[in-house]
């Protein structure tokens, strides 16, 4: 007897970019989606983000309104020698099909995704359940246990719960922790009008629209990375340094302005002027990477986003790869997907996404951690084409046609 297909009940663990984007994709196909988020309030962390063309393709497919990102065009990157004032070189950023990357505040992208996931639109709106911490998962049964003891039963479970994923442990059958790199980044958003008022910071306004990269040319890792967003009214500030104290019990997720200035005290004065504009304290993150996983899938559960393939920020592809995951799911789980189809569709998802996402994660690691590899992405047009020229929707349609005998969405 053939199973009658009904909309699938899908539980997504984690309401970050990976989880929200997947919710949009599956909601649009008519499935019933709930997002379980451990936080008590909706608060997307992070400062700003680059949205490359490979992510934009998926966002367009999902129906996003580019204007809502309040983005700034990424035309070129200006790289400055930290020790010599004014010396820089410009590297035009690759366009794909006439499009370039966008720079926006991360929360603006997240808000647009949440609008598409939960607001009026195609398919039943996704439901976000806050204060819903998942403590256990049975991937074969598709069940989740919450911290209050309640059990959520679903046809599909998607673990989008980040680099410290709980679902990953249950999919793998063992705990795989992320690994420290010994590098730390401090980030904040600065008012552009205040920056423009300082003559010493004229270098921020010169040249093409895009990031300003201030680096030390040597083996030591120190970098200042800035780019405009929110229609040019905000400047994203990032300072990256070597950090031998990451394992210390007293390590704090914030740094002081004075501590950062001490790290960059030998930078040219025009770059040090930036530090006078920083708040007294600003958030910082340990840069960590996730070793290659043996699998992303078990039974009715799968991993996506940072839970599956957390990357370093070197290639600007962390969120983009999560959005590609959503694009793949949108094709592989169309309306009419039967419950009996789920394990095969999840394996197809893994087969489509795992090798590519792991390649990007590996390159992002090596190009940050190996001094001779630093800057490779900027110098390698072929790698840029592989990364940004990829169309996950087209690739997923081909997989769907080959494995399931149809054209997909």
pTM recorded for the entire structure: 0.95
pLDDT at position 44: 56
Query: Which band of pLDDT confidence, cut at 50, 70 and 90, is reported for residue 3?
Result: low
Arithmetic mean of pLDDT over the chain: 93
- Flag whether pLDDT at 254 surpasses 50: yes
Q: Is residue 167 part of a domain?
A: yes
Q: Which of 288, 303, 325 is the last residue of a domain?
A: 288
User: 104-141: per-residue pLDDT in tens?
Assistant: 999 999 999 999 999 999 999 999 999 999 999 999 99
Asked if residue 201 is part of any domain, the answer here is yes
Same domain, 184 and 330: no
- For residues 27 and 152, membership in a common domain is answered with yes
Q: Dump pLDDT digits (tens) for 317-348.
A: 999 999 999 999 999 999 999 999 999 999 99
User: What is the C-alpha separation between 325 and 17, in angstroms, rounded?
Assistant: 11
> Same domain, yes or no, for 327 and 201?
no
Strand partners, 235: 190, 228
Is 278 among the domain residues? yes
Domain span at residue 207 reads: 180-288
Sorted by sequence, the CB contacts under 8 Å of residue 9 that are 6+ apart come out as: 31, 32, 153, 154, 155, 156
Distances (CA, A) of 237 to 183, 189, 234, 400: 16, 6, 10, 42
Residue 159 placed within a domain: yes
Q: Select from 288, 303, 335 the last residue of a domain.
A: 288
Over residues 260-299, the pLDDT tens digits come to: 999 999 898 999 999 999 999 999 999 999 999 999 999 9
Rounded CA gap, 155 and 125, in Å? 17
Can you give the pLDDT at residue 87?
75
Q: Is the same domain home to 210 and 126?
A: no
pLDDT (0 to 100) of residue 1: 38
Pair 231, 347 in one domain: no
Same domain flag for 240 and 304:
no
Is residue 264 located within the same domain as residue 140? no
- pLDDT band, residue 4 (cuts 50/70/90): low
The pLDDT-based confidence of 85 (bands split at 50, 70, 90) is low
């Amino acid at each position: 007897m053939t199973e009658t297909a009904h909309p699938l009940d899908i539980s997504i663990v984690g309401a970050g970019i990976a989880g929200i984007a997947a919710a949009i994709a599956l909601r649009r196909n008519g499935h019933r989606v709930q997002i379980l988020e451990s936080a008590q309030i909706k608060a997307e962390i992070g400062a700003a983000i680059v949205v490359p063309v490979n992510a934009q393709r998926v966002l367009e497919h999902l129906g996003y309104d580019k204007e809502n990102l309040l983005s700034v065009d990424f035309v070129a990157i200006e790289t400055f020698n930290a020790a010599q004032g004014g010396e820089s070189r410009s590297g035009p950023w690759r366009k794909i099909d006439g499009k370039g990357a966008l720079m926006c505040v991360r929360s603006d992208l997240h808000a647009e995704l949440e609008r598409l996931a939960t607001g009026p639109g195609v398919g039943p709106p996704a439901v976000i359940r806050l204060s819903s911490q998942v403590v256990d998962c049975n991937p074969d049964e598709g069940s989740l246990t919450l911290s209050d003891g309640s059990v959520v039963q679903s046809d599909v479970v998607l673990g989008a719960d980040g680099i410290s994923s709980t679902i990953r442990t249950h999919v793998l059958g063992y705990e795989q922790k992320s690994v420290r790199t010994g590098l730390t980044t401090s980030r904040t958003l600065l008012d552009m009008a205040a920056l423009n008022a300082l003559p010493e910071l004229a270098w921020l306004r010169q040249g093409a629209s895009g990031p300003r990269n201030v680096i030390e040319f040597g083996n030591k890792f120190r970098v200042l990375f800035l780019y405009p967003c929110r229609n040019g009214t905000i400047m994203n500030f990032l300072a990256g340094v070597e950090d031998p104290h990451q394992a210390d019990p007293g390590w704090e997720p914030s740094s002081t302005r004075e501590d950062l200035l001490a790290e960059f005290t030998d930078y040219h004065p025009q770059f040090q002027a930036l530090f006078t504009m920083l708040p007294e304290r600003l958030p910082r993150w340990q840069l960590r990477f996730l070793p290659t996983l043996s699998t992303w899938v078990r039974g009715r559960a799968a991993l996506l986003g940072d839970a599956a393939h957390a990357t370093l920020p070197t290639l600007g592809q962390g969120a983009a790869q999560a959005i590609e995951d959503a694009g793949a799911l949108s094709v592989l789980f169309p309306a009419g997907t039967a419950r009996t189809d789920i394990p095969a569709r999840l394996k197809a998802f893994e087969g489509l996404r795992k090798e590519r996402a792991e390649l990007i994660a590996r390159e992002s690691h090596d190009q940050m951690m190996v001094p001779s590899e630093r800057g490779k992405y900027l110098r390698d047009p072929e790698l840029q084409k592989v990364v940004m020229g990829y169309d996950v929707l087209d690739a997923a349609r081909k997989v769907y046609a080959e494995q399931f005998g149809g054209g997909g969405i």
